[in-house]
Amino acid sequence: MPKHAPTPFRRRKSTRAALAAGVVAALGAGVLFTQANASQGERRPRAAQNTTTPAKPATATKPTAPTTAKPTPKRTTAPKRTTAPKPTTLPRKTAAPKPTAPAGPTTATVTLPTANEQFDYQIGSAYTPPKNVEVVSRDRTAKPAAGLYNICYVNAFQTQPDALDWWEKNQPDLLLRDGSGAPVQDEDWGEMLLDTSTAGKRERLAQIVGGWIDGCAKSGFQAVEPDNLDSYERSDSLLTKQHNAAFARLLAQRSHAAGLAIGQKNTTALLPERKTIGFDFAVAEECGQYEECEEYAAAYENRVYVIEYTDTGYGRACSGWGGKLSVVQRDLDVSAPGGSYRYRAC
């Protein structure tokens, strides 16, 4: 199973969230707190997205997924790295929270994140976290932040933009296809949807994505954040909520077996199924902007990590939930300090 494969690097802006990009772009840099003195992480320019070359599969039954780099948040795209680093296990926090039983089956000790700890969302580029940050989310190809609770970002329900050739060559039937046989695309980000419509395909996809999850555990992460849970909404009705819930359940089982907690990424429509799936906490983009924070907070007992991209959303989230949930505002590129970098926390 491949250690690395197509990974996203930023949030994947939904149509409604993409409309907010123009507002954020117009904000003055002085409006937000800038960590000018934080050490800068590795940059991933958007132009670098299509520069990597997928690796050949190891065997016919266990293909080696393309070795690309950085993550793509649910509401943006991200460039990749040309080589994948060997997993490195970093020291964990000295005073780590006591293990808490996850919602789903487990064969290893799983530690859940603590509610309302200061959070940073670094899936675009990894850098030295601001002072007082206790929880950080990074792309699975990045190293965890020493001493913190680390969430591993994985693009689980769609391909990377530069990985289509690999999938077409090695696993063509795992790409969701329309009536003419063409792959169904997330047009906002140039990613193809993976086909979760049958139990057999879900099992095969879980072997590939499960390899990435195992890599997160070996690298020293404590949790995983699988993105694009809502891909069925972009499938032209070829996928259903139930298809993706069934696939998410397999990923939760794999995560717990590897000793990782698993977070629900967005998608309030699947909150009722959270316990059946096995989700342990939530990563919610723009729940303040779209007034969804209450739903996540109630479902996960405030163990919710919120990312806002507009002043309006950030203000709502902080005023309503800043004392209970971990809320941050980030720039749309989720970049490292310098340039368009923005970060502040309630």
The answer to the question of residue 320 being in a domain is yes
The answer to the question of residue 20 being in a domain is yes
Q: Return contacts of 113-116, CB within 8 angstroms, 24+ apart.
A: 113/149, 113/151, 113/222, 113/223, 113/261, 113/281, 113/303, 113/305, 114/149, 114/303, 115/301, 115/302, 115/303, 115/304, 115/324, 115/325, 115/326, 116/302, 116/323, 116/324, 116/325, 116/326
pLDDT of residue 107: 54
pTM value surpassing 0.75: no
Q: What's the mean pLDDT in 304-331?
A: 97
Structural domains of the chain, count: 1
Residue 79 φ/ψ, nearest 5 degrees: -75, 165
pLDDT of residue 12: 40
Q: What is the DSSP letter of 60?
A: S
Written as six digits, the tokens of 346 are 């309630």
Q: Which residue has the higher pLDDT, 82 or 68?
A: 68
CA 246, CA 265: separation in Å to the nearest integer?
15
The answer to the question of residue 6 being in a domain is no
pLDDT of 68 over the 90 cut: no
Query: Which stretch of 95-104, 162-171, 178-187, 320-329 has the lowest confidence by average pLDDT?
Result: 95-104
CA 219, CA 343: separation in Å to the nearest integer?
26
pLDDT tens digits along 23-39 = 333 333 333 333 333 32
pLDDT of 92 over the 50 cut: no
**What percentage of the chain exceeds 90 in pLDDT?**
66
Q: What's the mean pLDDT in 223-248?
A: 97
pLDDT of residue 339: 87
The answer to the question of residue 81 being in a domain is yes
CA 316, CA 131: separation in Å to the nearest integer?
24
Query: How high is the mean pLDDT of the chain?
Result: 78
pLDDT of 124 over the 50 cut: yes
The answer to the question of residue 338 being in a domain is yes
pLDDT of residue 189: 87
pLDDT of 110 over the 80 cut: yes
**What percentage of the chain exceeds 70 in pLDDT?**
69
pLDDT of residue 66: 52
The answer to the question of residue 3 being in a domain is no
The CATH number covering residue 34 comes to: 3.20.20.70
pLDDT tens digits along 3-24 = 333 333 334 444 333 433 333 3
Q: What is the DSSP string of 259-299?
A: T-EEEEES-GGGGGGHHHHT--EEEEESTTTTT-HHHHHHH
List all residues 6 or more positions away from 312 whose beta carbon is below 8 Å from its beta carbon: 23, 288, 289
- Residue numbers of the domain that contains 265: 15-345
**Residue 29 CB neighbour total at 10 angstroms:** 11
List all residues 6 or more positions away from 135 whose beta carbon is below 8 Å from its beta carbon: 113, 114, 117, 118, 119, 120, 148, 149, 150, 151, 305, 326
Give SS3 for 122. strand
pLDDT of 76 over the 50 cut: no
Q: What's the mean pLDDT in 254-279?
A: 98
Query: Which stretch of 181-190, 194-203, 247-256 has the lowest confidence by average pLDDT?
Result: 181-190
**Residue spans of beta strands (DSSP E) within the chain:** 119-122, 135-139, 149-155, 185-186, 191-192, 223-227, 261-265, 281-285, 304-308, 326-330, 343-345
Q: Which residue has the higher pLDDT, 58 or 245?
A: 245
The answer to the question of residue 224 being in a domain is yes
The answer to the question of residue 2 being in a domain is no
pLDDT band with cut points at 50, 70 and 90 for residue 198: very high
